[in-house]
Amino acid sequence: MALIPADLFFAPVTELNARLKAREFTAEDLARAFSERLQQQGPRFNALALSLHQEALRAAKEVDKELKRGRYRGPLQGVPYGVKDLLAYAGQPTTWGAKPYAGQVFDYHATVIEKLSAVGAVLTGKLAMVELAGGGGYRFPSASLTGPGLNPWDRTRWSGGSSSGSAAAVAAGLVPFAIGSETSGSIVTPASYCGVTALRPTYGLVSRHGAMALSWTLDKLGPFAHTAEDCGLILHEIAGGDSKDPGSAGKSFYYTPQYARPLKDLRVGYAKVDFAEWAEASTRPAFDAALTVLKASGLQLVETKLPDFPYGAALSTILNGEMGSIFEPLIQSGKVDELADKPQIAGLKASLELPAKEYLKAMRLRRLIQEEVAKLFGNVDVLLAPGRPTIASKLDQPLDRSPAGAAPPPKDPGFRSIIQMGNLAGLPALVLPCGFAENMPVALQLVGAPFAENTLLAIGRDFQSHTDWHRRRPQ
């Protein structure tokens, strides 16, 4: 068995695949090394929900047979990965991060897992998550069957939710990439807090068949990885129409960096107040430096305002209406009381009381939002904002309360609602690590028009070619 160098635990997908093809080690060697590392270190960050060690070794042996025959399936062949524990894996528990579902077993694989298996990627484990992906709202990071997600940069801080394990596992070098999900921030937030690159795809681009539903009209699956290029390569494989997902857009995605528009032709809308006032004081130097890099690339940064809508209220109403319907059996059975977070229990129960007229009003408002956002992208190509305006919170800090001594908020809202707006309109977003504050990661988010992933990835590739934040690793 070949010894896997320690640096490879943080290597991008492209490097791992190239070295596999060069026969420096076998796919079985790589799967064993990553799987054992995930088993050993995953619990340090409460990131591991289920090891699939034996399954990974079997799959890797099949990859080795193919490589010996010269059968190449693409850049993910032989590369280990993990998935958030809301994706079904046949014959093994899929807990949704929640005690009431601890023994739940499906007899099929999620479409995303099937697609990755078809190109030779090797699943080594299922990764921890906030219970029910945060459905009902939760107050503390401990709202999970596996305990609070611990940040690899500082285990006294949160790794973010609800894809806590996916982000932490990539940041800690436990998997080269992972699949997470977002309904309203669950890819953007943990990627920002853990200092990894991540992509929230356009709504409907990636099949959710086999994934826990939290909101039929908001849920999206996407990759966490080390580089923007990796995210593009992964999306290339997991995107595509699926008749088993009623929300499928019926579109494929082809990662085509060679055809990217010149950056000097792109107009990027942003709000100065986001970086100068809304961002925590300690993060501002990192954001300023990142803006300097983006401007030097030729991008045209133009001050922009978001259309004026109650984004948070609209999203909350839609989410509550759909979530209440989805989890009605759990709520009415009384098993909802087994969840770890009391505010989340209360939120789920309250969702059953939402009047249909309120849901319908929110859906009509959402259509107006989508129309106005489309007009906005007639003036700019991309929107830019902090991934999060703060560093990761302390584990004992309530998530619904600002830290003591926090300054009063600015009067100008800037892009504070960009996560809610982006999810209501089904927009793609790319998270890019861009520095540190108080020894914790800071990140940017780029948001594009529907199906504009290649534009976001082109900006991300260029940014990462001039910076090394995505190569930093926790000690």
162 classed as catalytic: yes
| Percent helix, strand and coil across the chain, each to the nearest 5 | 40, 15, 40
- Joined together, the tokens standing for residue 331 give 């709520």
As a dihedral over the C-alpha atoms of residue 393, residue 475, residue 47, residue 160, rounded to 10 degrees, the angle is 20
DSSP 278: I
Beta pairing partners, 233:
none
d(CA 135, CA 117): 29
CB 110 within 8 A of CB 118: no
Which residue bears the tokens 């209501």? 424
Which residue among 35, 51, 84, 166 is the active-site one? 84
Which residue among 159, 186, 248, 417 is the active-site one? 186
Report the relative pairing of strands 300-303 and 267-270 from DSSP bridges.
parallel
Three-state DSSP at 453 gives helix
Angle of helix 53-68 relative to helix 27-41, nearest 10 degrees?
Answer: 160
411 classed as catalytic: no
Radius of gyration in angstroms for the set of CA atoms belonging to the chain, rounded to a whole number? 21
Residue type, 253: F
Which residue bears the tokens 């999900």? 181
The 3 state secondary structure assigned to 91-118 is CCECCCCCHHHCCCECCCCCHHHHHHHH
> Largest Cα–Cα distance in the chain?
64
DSSP 277: I
Which residue among 51, 142, 159, 162 is the active-site one? 162
d(CA 251, CA 448): 17
d(CA 438, CA 63): 43
Residue from 28, 216, 274, 234 nearest 113 by CA: 234
d(CA 133, CA 428): 19
84 classed as catalytic: yes
CB 169 within 8 A of CB 300: no
CB 321 within 8 A of CB 362: yes
Beta pairing partners, 289:
none
Q: Please identify every residue annotated as catalytic.
A: 84, 162, 186
